[in-house]
């Protein structure tokens, strides 16, 4: 899947293995820096034999990539598999391993189990989460942190809106008394304050989306926040924008705030017109 590798290219191009056997290889920036290579260099690669001897082949570096995963970058370069087949005296249909790409990552374990059950006993299968267990465990911590932060933010936003609505009600207590004296029922008065509070929630969500999505787009296209790849596995803070999640998050926040605003609006039912209407 060379379309994936093109996203990580920092120099040159991806090799072309669609035609005859060639000597083009793709190396990582980690390997190039450690060995003093640059794009366009010719390199000699040594292959150890079981009897203690070795074979060597000359290759041409046509591209340099940086995946951000040092464990990967320090171990792999990309070459035409036909070189390995010739060195190991394999047939054209013999390989060291297959990669299966899935369209739905949520079904990874299900598909991995199905492949394992249809694989002969002398072969083994492994999902990417099993192969790079530590990396995916590290990523799962972000999912928990994100959920925790969202819950805390919604609770804080809800409490702030409850306080704001209580202040609005207390400031308009005489108005509530007059409306009740004129025949308005509790629910109709509560809706007035609810609409006003939800308008404030909508304005807050609008500006919050403008600022938040704006910062995400800046990070996505300019990469202002730099990270240490040895610690975080990536060279910059990654950004993934899914408009479906954004819409669901906004709707969920709005609905939860609306439900929480029902609590302070109940205060209106306790207001007595006789005690709130004062005549000078």
Instruction: For 129-185, write each residue's pLDDT tens digit.
Output: 998 888 788 778 888 888 899 889 888 888 888 888 888 888 888 888 888 888 888
| Structural domains of the chain ordered from first start | 2-96 (2.40.40), 97-131 (no CATH), 133-276 (no CATH)
**pLDDT score recorded for residue 81:** 92
pLDDT at 280: 43
What is the rounded distance in angstroms from the CA atom of residue 38 to the CA atom of residue 30? 11
Task: Return the SS3 of 40.
Answer: coil
The whole-number average pLDDT for the span 5-11 is 88
- Sign, CA dihedral 18-23-28-29, equals negative
Contacts of 146-150 with C-beta under 8 Å, sequence gap 24+, read 150/249
Q: Tell me, what's the pLDDT at 158?
A: 81
Name which of 2-11, 76-85, 231-240, 249-258 the model is least confident about: 231-240
CA dist list (Å): 275 to 122, 170, 172, 184, 279: 87, 13, 13, 16, 11
Query: Measured between alpha carbons, how far is 11 from 214 in angstroms, rounded to an integer?
Result: 30
Comparing 19 with 209, the larger pLDDT belongs to 209
Kindly tell me the number of DSSP H helices and DSSP E strands found in the chain.
12, 4
The residues facing 126 across adjacent strands are: none
What torsion, rounded to 10 degrees, do the Cα atoms 22, 28, 33, 34 define?
Answer: -90
Tell me what pLDDT residue 126 has. Answer: 94
CA triplet 199, 201, 207: central angle to 5 degrees?
105
- Confidence tier at 64 by pLDDT (50, 70, 90): very high
Tokens encoding 177? 């008394």
Exposed e or buried b for every residue in 164-174, given b needs 16+ CB within 10 A?
A: bbeebbeebee
- Sign of torsion over alpha carbons 206, 207, 212, 217: positive
């Amino acid at each position: 899947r060379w379309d994936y590798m093109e996203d990580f290219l920092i120099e040159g191009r991806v090799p072309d293995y669609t035609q005859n056997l060639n000597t083009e290889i793709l190396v990582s920036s980690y390997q190039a820096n450690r060995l003093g290579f640059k794009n366009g260099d010719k390199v000699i690669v040594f292959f150890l034999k079981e009897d203690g001897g070795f074979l060597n082949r000359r290759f041409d570096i046509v591209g340099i990539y940086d995946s951000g995963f040092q464990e990967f970058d320090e171990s792999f370069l990309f070459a035409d598999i036909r070189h390995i087949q010739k060195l190991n005296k394999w047939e054209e249909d013999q390989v060291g391993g297959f990669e299966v790409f899935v369209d739905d990552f949520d079904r990874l374990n299900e598909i991995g189990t199905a492949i394992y059950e249809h694989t002969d006993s002398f072969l083994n299968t492994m999902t990417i989460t099993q192969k790079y267990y530590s990396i995916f465990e590290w990523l799962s911590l972000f999912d928990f942190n994100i959920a925790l932060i969202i819950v805390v933010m919604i609770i804080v936003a809800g409490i702030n809106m409850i306080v704001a609505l209580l202040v609005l009600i207390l400031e308009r207590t005489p108005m509530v008394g007059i409306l009740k004296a004129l025949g308005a029922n509790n629910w109709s008065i509560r809706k007035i304050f609810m609409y006003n509070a939800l308008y404030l929630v909508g304005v807050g969500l609008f500006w919050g989306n403008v600022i938040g999505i704006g910062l995400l787009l800046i990070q996505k296209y300019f990469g202002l926040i730099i990270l240490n790849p040895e610690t975080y596995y990536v060279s910059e803070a990654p950004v993934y924008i899914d408009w479906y999640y954004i819409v669901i998050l906004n709707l969920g926040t709005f609905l939860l705030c609306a439900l929480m605003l029902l609590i302070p609006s109940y205060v209106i039912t306790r207001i007595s017109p006789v005690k709130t209407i004062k005549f000078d």
